[in-house]
Structure 1
Amino acid sequence: MKNKSMFIGAIVGGLLLAGCSKQSEPTADSAAPAAEKRLVTVGSDLTFPPYEYLKDGVPSGVSVEIMEKIAEVDGSYKADWVDTRWANLIPGLKGEKYDILFSSMYITPERLEQIDMIPYYKTDISLLVRHDSKLAPKGPNDLCGAVVGVMKGTAFSTQAHEISAKNCVANGKKALMIREFETSPQTTQALLAHAVEIQYDDAAVMKAAETNLAGKVKITSTEQFFPTVGGIGIRKGDTETYKLVEEGLNRIKASGEYEEILTAYGLKAPTEEDIAAVMNK
């Protein structure tokens, strides 16, 4: 799942009247300081390109761009990004450390029991190997017996264990050897260091890794599996923040900006059927 400016006061109009013996009185509008926007705290694991990451110390990525647009169209607040690790996100939201979670968090029944979520993108899984690897897994059935790296505490870990039990062990094949890491970049480093054979991660994240590490890693998966929808997390009972985010998201959808951002990152908006499937509606 992790900026901003203040308004400058108006120039006193009387200074423009050079040569006048009497300076003009400032108007009420020019004398009043501009209202400062309130901060809305956004918790995010800013280690997950292209969704959310730090670029030269500045929060960047698709999730960041969408959140910034949502705040911009409202105009009354701005996002205050807090970088934290994945395991801290939901506890931090429930403990009121953050107002919003915007960290490419997959919508699952377990998470919906703890927080409310607003859907905003659709994705699936890709498999990454070293460029010189003899392994070329196309889908989940090709993972049996392999050493697979995943992010700790994520849906990827849950899915990998499910594949190991249902696709491999239940069919008389070797179980996956699953190794977990704190962040996606750490998992990729483990792949490069030969600590794991395959990285199991979000499709857009693996595409970004393949692009950024050209000649070192490659995506080999061709099957679509575990398609899912990601959502924005809101604390249960916080209807004010929920409406604030939902209305802003609907406005940038109507303007076309939402679709433009997703397209720029190779992502798609979830359909009504996709949303219904994950939200149990």
Structure 2
Amino acid sequence: MKNKTLFTVSALAGALLFSGCAKKTETAAESPAAATEKRLVTVGSDLTFPPYEYMKDGVPSGVSVEIMEKIAEVDGSYKADWIDTRWANLIPGLKGEKYDILFSSMYITKERLEQIDMIPYYKTDISLLVRSDSDLAPKGPSDLCGKVVGAMKGTAFSAQVQEISEKRCVAQGKKAITVREFETSPQTTQALLAHAVDIQYDDAAVMKAAENNLKAKVKITSTEQFFPIVGGIGIRKGDTATYKLVEEGLNRIKASGEYAKILTAYGLKEPTAEDIAAVMK
């Protein structure tokens, strides 16, 4: 990661110009007067991806939301203003200054780092979900050959399934995977339940949440490692002030233990220095 120019907290207050393009929200603990004194940081997120980020009773919820809210809380001078949008709009919206930050369980990839800066904050892998009444019980990548697999449109998932199809299936004389893409993870799960796909290929924590929420309807069968990956917070290139604001807040909640508590509650892990070095080069 490039070296960043250091700013003092007081300098940051004057340096940041945050847009207020989304509807303001207040927590129950805040008075209207206190809320108006805080700057708004617009946070772009696809709020359809439990347990990371989703709407619960009309309120942004999930691991990403909790971490961002804690980061803002320890600073105290601003609050997160969540903007719900679909996945394909995230990076273009950040580059176009519609959002100040992307906090949407976005995997760190070489292609994304060419467009935006990213701050690592969690590690995950892939799980496979099938209907509970299915005869299929895929354990790993090779078990996907010849099957109809559902994945989220515009994500790394679809590209990974295509790679598996080419390298693990076709190259070894097996049938190719038929990939069907859907706008959101819940839509992909609905396609699975409707027999439109045989298997759902998605983030491990997301599939665990689906298994818990749908109880007897679906089950995770995978046991092999797929593509362990590090997720990050997106910051517009050149926006050093926002980068430092988020990075410093994240470091503070790590030091307080709040960060570890949140990750543990959702069954996620903090990436190691080696994990981060592998994706940030």
TM-score (norm 2): 0.89
Q: Note if 1:155 corresponds to 2:177.
A: no
The Cα RMSD (Å) is 1.4
Q: What whole-Å deviation, never above 9, does each CA across 1:158-207 have from its counterpart, x for those lacking one?
A: 10000000000000000000000000000000000000000000000000
Q: Provide the rounded CA distance (Å) in 2 between the counterparts of 1:239 and 1:34.
A: 25
Q: Determine the structure 1 residue equivalent to 2:19.
A: none
Specify the code of the residue in structure 1 equivalent to 2:226: F
Q: Provide the rounded CA distance (Å) in 2 between the counterparts of 1:76 and 1:130.
A: 47
Q: Determine the structure 2 residue equivalent to 1:58.
A: 59
Q: Provide the rounded CA distance (Å) in 2 between the counterparts of 1:199 and 1:133.
A: 12
Q: Provide the rounded CA distance (Å) in 2 between the counterparts of 1:126 and 1:232.
A: 22
Q: Determine the structure 2 residue equivalent to 1:176.
A: 177
Equivalent residue runs for 1:159-238 within 5 Å: 159-238=160-239
Q: Provide the rounded CA distance (Å) in 2 between the counterparts of 1:196 and 1:117.
A: 33
Q: Provide the rounded CA distance (Å) in 1 between the counterparts of 2:279 and 2:268.
A: 18
Shift of residue 8, structure 1, vs aligned partner: 6.4
Q: Provide the rounded CA distance (Å) in 2 between the counterparts of 1:34 and 1:99.
A: 19
Is 2:26–2:35's contact at 8 Å kept on the other side of the alignment?
Answer: no
Q: What whole-Å deviation, never above 9, does each CA across 1:108-155 have from its counterpart, x for those lacking one?
A: 000000000000000000000000000000000100000000000000
Which segments of 5 or more consecutive residues in structure 2 lack a partner in the other structure? Answer: 1-21
Is 1:7–1:36's contact at 8 Å kept on the other side of the alignment?
Answer: no
Specify the code of the residue in structure 2 equivalent to 1:219: I
Shift of residue 224, structure 1, vs aligned partner: 1.4
- 1:105 aligns to what SS in structure 2? strand
Is 1:164–1:176's contact at 8 Å kept on the other side of the alignment?
Answer: yes
Q: Determine the structure 2 residue equivalent to 1:125.
A: 126
Specify the code of the residue in structure 2 equivalent to 1:202: D
Q: Determine the structure 1 residue equivalent to 2:85.
A: 84
Q: Determine the structure 2 residue equivalent to 1:4.
A: 26
Q: Determine the structure 2 residue equivalent to 1:276.
A: 277
Shift of residue 4, structure 1, vs aligned partner: 1.5
Shift of residue 225, structure 1, vs aligned partner: 1.2
Q: 1:88 to 1:182 in 2, by over 3 A?
A: same
Identity %: 85
Equivalent residue runs for 1:220-259 within 5 Å: 220-259=221-260
Q: Provide the rounded CA distance (Å) in 2 between the counterparts of 1:34 and 1:85.
A: 27
Is 2:122–2:269's contact at 8 Å kept on the other side of the alignment?
Answer: yes
Which segments of 5 or more consecutive residues in structure 1 lack a partner in the other structure? Answer: 10-32
Larger radius of gyration: 1
Specify the code of the residue in structure 1 equivalent to 2:26: K
Q: Provide the rounded CA distance (Å) in 2 between the counterparts of 1:252 and 1:88.
A: 29
Specify the code of the residue in structure 1 equivalent to 2:189: T
Specify the code of the residue in structure 1 equivalent to 2:48: T
Is 1:125–1:200's contact at 8 Å kept on the other side of the alignment?
Answer: yes
Q: Determine the structure 2 residue equivalent to 1:21.
A: none
Shift of residue 7, structure 1, vs aligned partner: 4.1
Is 2:127–2:202's contact at 8 Å kept on the other side of the alignment?
Answer: yes
Q: Provide the rounded CA distance (Å) in 2 between the counterparts of 1:54 and 1:34.
A: 21
Q: Provide the rounded CA distance (Å) in 2 between the counterparts of 1:50 and 1:66.
A: 12
Q: Determine the structure 1 residue equivalent to 2:3.
A: none
Shift of residue 100, structure 1, vs aligned partner: 0.1
TM-score (norm 1): 0.89
